[in-house]
Structure 1
Amino acid sequence: MTSKILIVGAGIAGLSLARRLKHFDLDFDIIDEKPSEYKSGAGIALPFNAVRELKDLKVFDSLAGRYHQVKEINYTTTSGKTLGKANLTDPPFDQEMFIAMKRQDLHAALSVGLEHKIRHNTKLLSVVHADDQVDVSCSYELLDGKYDLVVAADGIHSTVRSQNFEGQETIRDHQMRCWRFIVTLPEHGLEPIYMMGKTDLFMAYPISANAVYCYGHIHEHSPSADLTDNAADNLRKIFSGYGGPVPEILSKLDEVKIVTGRLLSVTEPRFYDRRIVFVGDAANGCSPLIQQGAAAALEDTNILADALAMQNIDQALESYQARREARIRWVVQYSDGPLPHLLKMESWIGRAMRYLMIKSRGPLNVYGWKKLATDRLLSNS
């Protein structure tokens, strides 16, 4: 019997799952509350495991000319003094690329061939467990009804997750304000640089020869965090003392769209509950320390689709959790572990200890990537 599957969310997780289900001739509906013309103003960094999944999806070749290959990572002080650096073409990464690009370009590539399947401007109203199905109500009534499986691919603010675990806290707010934007810097010649202050950090990540994706954050309880509602003013105030490429970037803030947000995580990883399964940020959203948001979503959906193609739904969900749990719990812990201690970086002792760790281990994200690439206990097998 053909299973009736509803995917909630047409972001990276939802689209990658839809492509895999289509490959296996498994039917599905997909809804998204955003309009079809919605465009993200942010960039995205895709480490080795994300690139590997995109190749397996047969999407990577279509991205040619739209990404920047990242070959080196640099961690520095606010003045630009090097704390640690790593070459991303050395083992264990010599068999795969690291890239960065506009998020909307990745989204567009994943959407190809699925346009007619996505019901945009459609809000999920309710999900209710009903024996071996889920009773769904949404703003497009023709898709109301019972589904054999509902896939929560609707991000960190997942409506499916909040309704399924009604009354439970499913999101952790780390009390950090963050900003993302893309700036034009002709012939910048940069490799990714992470500039570390106290609780503040500025990242400049090239996505082409002439454009850089930028990210900044600060803890709200930092003495320096006297923030207003004006994103550009906040960025200028917090990062005006930084060196390197930051002064030139700050001079262009009036020309760019700045996405303001808060650093959020799930309170714990979720895999499935009866006939609702969680993928991507809805399942395991966490700090972007090791850039595993898209990578985890692509891995989640690969493993889930494979299981659904070979097993009945209940067996598939058990297999999905069994193969993903150790890796996901490690990623969330490694990514979020430093955040409760961030205010200690206001002390020179705290910063000295952090700098010592970076100098001994190298860049913190590269250390995490090496762990994911080499630790057999964290594999998806």
Structure 2
Amino acid sequence: MTGDVRYGNDMRVLIVGGGIAGLTLGALLEQRGFSPHIVEKTVDYGGLGYTLALWPAGSNILKGLGMYGGLLGNADQLRTYTLLSDRGKQLHSYHMSDLAADYGPTYLIWRPDLVDVLQRSVSDEALRMGTSVTAIEQGEGSASVTFTDGTTGTYDLVVGADGIHSRVRELVFGDVPLTYHGMTGWAFWVDPSLATPGEAIEHWGDGRFVGLYPTDDKLACFMAVTAPEGSPDPVDQRLDRIRECFGGMGGLVPDVLNEMDDPEEMWHDDFYDLQMDEWVRDRVVLIGDAGHAILPTAGVGASMAMESATVLADELTRTDSAYLEQGLEHYVARRRDRVDTVQKKSRQLGSVALVDNSLLASLRDQSVKFYSQTRMEKYYEDFLSSEI
């Protein structure tokens, strides 16, 4: 090494955000000889969250980290995908066996369990909990960072992996508006006997949606309804609000409504996504939801975050601090089209699943009945077969 050029073990990389994207990147960099610093604002990860679909593009990354067994011990393989109408009439049921045979299985896993698997793949000294950033000042070839605990550090690269409400994005890119998609949702656990292991069941209603997703030995319920942005959701009124919104639905929904008992243990959030023209500014780069948040309707957000972390790790391995700009340009070039395509599909699927018009909902239901197994497979093959 000559001068101030750093590479490998010597390149100073700060990852802000110890979620799925940040932990994946940190683990991959450590595996390749780097010594990244990861800061996570929460003191501990806690237990609230929702169920994720982890497609082969995501789960295969865990194979490379030696953590695939941890996934299998906490997940349920998605074998059947069944769609029901608002009243509970089956519209279509799709088997996932052919896609699994060609590309690998898709798994359903509770987000905190996936985070736990990823956390075990990074060294204890790499991760600092209860810490975020308050300031980022960029100079010639470096970024100076001030942390919430008052300490400072200088880095060759700062990676914003701190979610859709990213503090790094705010500090470096300014006020980037999120796009609200007219939906709010809740997630909670229900009796596993309500569904068959390996079968995801979704009720597509008129401006409302209920999904049941088995994971390991548990069954997660995800409910969504169209609502104005920022609609209040007081905990003490939550159960009554949900029962009012979803009353009259058929299928498994009445059983789900009877299962609700602890509103404080429910995860709740509004549906936003984020599209940015740029993910890089000098020595700061955004990955995962911080740069390309995707609606949960597509079920691919976690896999996309892990993909982006993998591509960035790959590019960092093949550059150094002097030519980092080129590596970051390559990262963007490799990810841009794929991310844009998936975001577009997630928006389209969200608008279909929660169409807020009874006539359009009826037409949608009729279309789903004739949406063949072959067409479903083609829809997902475009995602599964593309290079990352």
TM-score, normalised with respect to structure 2: 0.88
> Does the CA-based 8 Å contact 1:231-1:260 persist in structure 2?
no
1:49 maps to amino acid = A
User: What CA distance in whole angstroms lies between the structure 1 residues aligned with 2:310 and 2:295?
Assistant: 22
DSSP 3-state at the match of 1:90: helix
Matches within 5 A, 1:238-277: 238-255=245-262, 257-268=265-276, 270-277=278-285
Aligned to 2:87: 79
> Does the CA-based 8 Å contact 1:31-1:118 persist in structure 2?
yes
Report Cα offsets for 1:212-251 as digits up to 9, x if no partner: 11111111159xx997522222221122222222222211
User: What CA distance in whole angstroms lies between the structure 2 residues aligned with 1:192 and 1:247?
Assistant: 17
- After TM superposition, give the deviation of residue 329 of structure 1 in Å: 0.5
User: What CA distance in whole angstroms lies between the structure 1 residues aligned with 2:238 and 2:187?
Assistant: 10
Q: Against the structure 1 CA distance between its residues 336 and 182, is the aligned structure 2 distance closer, same or farther, given a 3 Å change threshold?
A: same
> Does the CA-based 8 Å contact 2:194-2:252 persist in structure 1?
no
Aligned to 2:38: 30
Aligned to 1:121: 130
2:364 maps to amino acid = R
Aligned to 1:331: 342
> Does the CA-based 8 Å contact 2:177-2:274 persist in structure 1?
yes
- After TM superposition, give the deviation of residue 38 of structure 1 in Å: 2.6
Aligned to 1:138: 147
- After TM superposition, give the deviation of residue 261 of structure 1 in Å: 0.7
Q: Against the structure 1 CA distance between its residues 29 and 291, is the aligned structure 2 distance closer, same or farther, given a 3 Å change threshold?
A: same
Counting matched residue pairs gives 371
Report Cα offsets for 1:179-232 as digits up to 9, x if no partner: 1112233474251011111111111111134x211111111159xx99752222
> Does the CA-based 8 Å contact 1:194-1:201 persist in structure 2?
yes
- After TM superposition, give the deviation of residue 343 of structure 1 in Å: 7.8
- After TM superposition, give the deviation of residue 372 of structure 1 in Å: 0.7
- After TM superposition, give the deviation of residue 80 of structure 1 in Å: 2.1
Q: Against the structure 1 CA distance between its residues 27 and 197, is the aligned structure 2 distance closer, same or farther, given a 3 Å change threshold?
A: same
User: What CA distance in whole angstroms lies between the structure 1 residues aligned with 2:244 and 2:134?
Assistant: 41
> Does the CA-based 8 Å contact 1:269-1:329 persist in structure 2?
no
Between stretches 338-347 and 125-134, larger displacement belongs to: 338-347
User: What CA distance in whole angstroms lies between the structure 2 residues aligned with 1:49 and 1:206?
Assistant: 20
- After TM superposition, give the deviation of residue 116 of structure 1 in Å: 2.7
Q: Against the structure 1 CA distance between its residues 98 and 37, is the aligned structure 2 distance closer, same or farther, given a 3 Å change threshold?
A: closer
Identical-pair percentage: 26
User: What CA distance in whole angstroms lies between the structure 1 residues aligned with 2:233 and 2:290?
Assistant: 30
User: What CA distance in whole angstroms lies between the structure 2 residues aligned with 1:355 and 1:129?
Assistant: 53
Aligned to 1:355: 365
5+ residue gaps, structure 1: none
Q: Against the structure 1 CA distance between its residues 283 and 360, is the aligned structure 2 distance closer, same or farther, given a 3 Å change threshold?
A: farther
Please point out which of 276, 295, 320 is paired with 2:331. Answer: 320
Please point out which of 99, 111, 132 is paired with 1:103. Answer: 111
1:128 maps to amino acid = E
Between stretches 122-131 and 90-99, larger displacement belongs to: 90-99
User: What CA distance in whole angstroms lies between the structure 2 residues aligned with 1:216 and 1:269?
Assistant: 32
DSSP 3-state at the match of 1:345: coil
> Does the CA-based 8 Å contact 1:92-1:370 persist in structure 2?
no
- After TM superposition, give the deviation of residue 176 of structure 1 in Å: 1.7
Between stretches 364-373 and 265-274, larger displacement belongs to: 364-373
Q: Against the structure 1 CA distance between its residues 250 and 344, is the aligned structure 2 distance closer, same or farther, given a 3 Å change threshold?
A: closer
Please point out which of 180, 205, 220 is paired with 1:213. Answer: 220
Would you say 1:370 and 2:370 are equivalent positions?
Answer: no
1:133 maps to amino acid = S
Q: Against the structure 1 CA distance between its residues 188 and 357, is the aligned structure 2 distance closer, same or farther, given a 3 Å change threshold?
A: closer
1:195 maps to amino acid = H
5+ residue gaps, structure 2: 1-5
Report Cα offsets for 1:105-160 as digits up to 9, x if no partner: 21111111433321111121012222222221111333x13211000100111111
DSSP 3-state at the match of 2:261: helix
- After TM superposition, give the deviation of residue 99 of structure 1 in Å: 1.1
2:22 maps to amino acid = G
> Does the CA-based 8 Å contact 1:92-1:373 persist in structure 2?
no
RMSD: 2.6
- After TM superposition, give the deviation of residue 362 of structure 1 in Å: 4.8
User: What CA distance in whole angstroms lies between the structure 2 residues aligned with 1:41 and 1:297?
Assistant: 17
- After TM superposition, give the deviation of residue 280 of structure 1 in Å: 0.9
> Does the CA-based 8 Å contact 2:207-2:225 persist in structure 1?
yes
2:144 maps to amino acid = D
> Does the CA-based 8 Å contact 1:31-1:122 persist in structure 2?
yes
Aligned to 1:234: 241
DSSP 3-state at the match of 1:361: coil
User: What CA distance in whole angstroms lies between the structure 1 residues aligned with 2:349 and 2:203?
Assistant: 16
1:337 maps to amino acid = Q
> Does the CA-based 8 Å contact 1:21-1:27 persist in structure 2?
yes
